[in-house]
Amino acid sequence: MTLETLVEKLELKCKCCWEKLKTTEIKGGYAGDLLSDVMANSKEGSIWVTRQVHLNIVAVASLKEHAGIVIVQGATPDKDTVEKATREGVPIMVSELTEFELVGRIYQLLQNG
Amino acid sequence: MPSDEYLQGIYYIQGRDFVDAGIVSSEIKKSLKDKGIPESIIRRVAVITFEAEVNMISYSEQGTIQLFIEPDAITIQADDIGQGIEDIELAQQEGYSTADDSIRELGFGAGMGLANIKKYSDIFEITSNPGDGAHLKSVVKL
Ligand SMILES: Nc1ncnc2c1ncn2[C@@H]1O[C@H](COP(=O)(O)OP(=O)(O)OP(=O)(O)O)[C@@H](O)[C@H]1O
Ligand SMILES: [Mg+2]
């Protein structure tokens, strides 16, 4: 599944790096708000679901080569976060759903190929 | 420490500078990519350098990370000036953290950093003189 499909199916708001949505394939997912946990346990190509909004999430996603970040519950990423994500080419999206609901939906979509 | 001929770079880290957290790790990652180091090794080094970098930003005044590339191993040497660590054993226990609220708000302070470094290293050594600073060495074999 591409990021573009994810954005369409779950009505995500994309905040930056629109040009990457079509070509970025999602290979899996990880949910977490503790950066050391995400750093140690997430895999490259994953979509990362979190409620963190500050710019350190971009460093983590970029180092781990995540497909992108989805921020939950309609939270607004900091301005610095979006700027850094644009520079580093890390797509950031926002969902209105809670972390629990969103992860369930993404998991289902990934299972159905 | 490996001999100077294998020194690939020295990176400077400023304490409390959370805005730049991860910059050194991403520079190191780029430099390993340029050298043609295998992806699986780069991934491990990225976790190690990120956790060392964030710990220096969180708990020290300033420090350096030195990167050595030998034919059969990569060594990360992290040295800082600062409060240091009272109880090294305790600090390495997963879940132990002295992070304050300002650090926890950023998603750090789970007490997993040192445990992660250890897990991803083939050799891991940490020493500290409380009041002076901390010294960490991690080796990843190629
Ligand atoms: N360079 C350092 N200087 C002084 N104290 C340190 C240093 N690195 C780690 N510590 C101490 O060891 C504790 C554990 O560190 P560790 O990296 O495992 O977890 P953390 O930084 O608290 O949380 P996390 O890394 O999960 O975000 C820290 O809370 C701190 O008290
Ligand atoms: Mg830490």
Chain segment B88-97, per-residue pLDDT in tens: 999 999 999 9
User: CB–CB of A60/B116 below 8 Å?
Assistant: no
Chain B residues in contact with A34 by the CB 8 A cut-off are: 107-108, 110, 112
Residue span of the structural domain in which A35 resides:
3-111
Q: Are strands A68-71 and A46-50 parallel, antiparallel or unpaired?
A: parallel
CA distance B137 to B30: 20
User: Is it the case that residue B125 has pLDDT exceeding 80?
Assistant: yes
CA distance A105 to B110: 27
**How many domains is chain A built from?**
1
User: Is it the case that residue B126 has pLDDT exceeding 90?
Assistant: yes
CA distance B135 to B80: 7
Residue span of the structural domain in which B59 resides:
4-141
User: Which of A33, A34, A36, A66 to mutate to test binding with chain B, by most B CBs within 10 Å of its CB?
Assistant: A36
User: CB–CB of B81/B98 below 8 Å?
Assistant: no
**How many domains is chain B built from?**
1
This complex has an ipTM of 0.96
| pTM exceeds 0.90 for this model | yes
Per-residue pLDDT of B57-73, as tens digits, reads: 999 999 999 999 999 99
* pLDDT value for A2: 98
CATH number at residue B136: 3.30.565.10
Per-residue pLDDT of B12-46, as tens digits, reads: 999 999 999 999 999 999 999 999 999 999 999 99
Mean pLDDT over the full length of chain B? 97
CA distance A76 to A52: 10
CATH number at residue A12: 3.40.1390.20
Per-residue pLDDT of A19-77, as tens digits, reads: 999 999 999 999 999 999 999 999 999 999 999 999 999 999 999 999 999 999 999 99
CA distance A69 to A48: 5
CA distance A99 to B76: 36
CA distance B111 to B90: 10
User: Is it the case that residue B101 has pLDDT exceeding 90?
Assistant: yes
Q: Do B22 and A63 touch (CB under 8 A)?
A: yes
Distance from CA of A1 to the nearest CA of B (A): 23
Chain B residues in contact with A66 by the CB 8 A cut-off are: none
Ligand 1 pocket test target in B14, B58, B87 with most atoms within 8 Å of CB: B58
Q: Do B113 and A36 touch (CB under 8 A)?
A: yes
Q: Are strands A92-94 and A13-14 parallel, antiparallel or unpaired?
A: antiparallel
* pLDDT value for A47: 98
User: Is it the case that residue A113 has pLDDT exceeding 90?
Assistant: no
Locus of tokens 């969902």: A95
Structure tokens at A100: 């629990």
Based on its alpha-carbon atoms, the radius of gyration of chain B, rounded to whole angstroms, reads 14
User: CB–CB of B7/B67 below 8 Å?
Assistant: yes
* pLDDT value for A105: 98
